Structure 1
């Protein structure tokens, strides 16, 4: 059973992020997802955020080093409020503005 998926630094871009997001909606075993340095923009981040709202198993998410704007970061942050992802640090969400960091108080 796959519990950790590390696809960091593979340039999957938004298309790949959307595919992963679709899989996350039904996956019941994955606990850690590493998607760092993949040229994901806010479009891909929003797809991941939507999937996080239904996924109940993921506890670690690494999306640092992507091209995610505040809009995508906000979508991720809002999704994190509704689930039990507990290993998303400020460093991994480095793209968040200071105001957003304070608002969501990671």
Structure 2
């Protein structure tokens, strides 16, 4: 039986990995700002990175972490569903946003 401390440590590791992935994308946004482009261009760069090859790599790493956690018995169905919904939300975000914006997408 896992303790609360072990569960928190696992969550902190996952959040740290995700935070590092986001920080790795920040230089692209800083470069966009230094070239005097608009905020929307910088945000589009981040969206394209998350939905492109970088996003696929992050999703693959997330699934690997989930698989390793499952192998050691640290993952329950709630966490597995959370990962799946997160991956679907990242790759389906453009379509979801287009539904709210009358079918138009700017990126």
- TM-score, reference length from structure 2: 0.28
Which structure has more strand as a fraction of its residues?
A: 1
Which structure has more helix as a fraction of its residues?
A: 2
Which structure ranks higher in relative contact order (CA pairs < 8 Å, sequence separation ≥ 6)?
A: 1
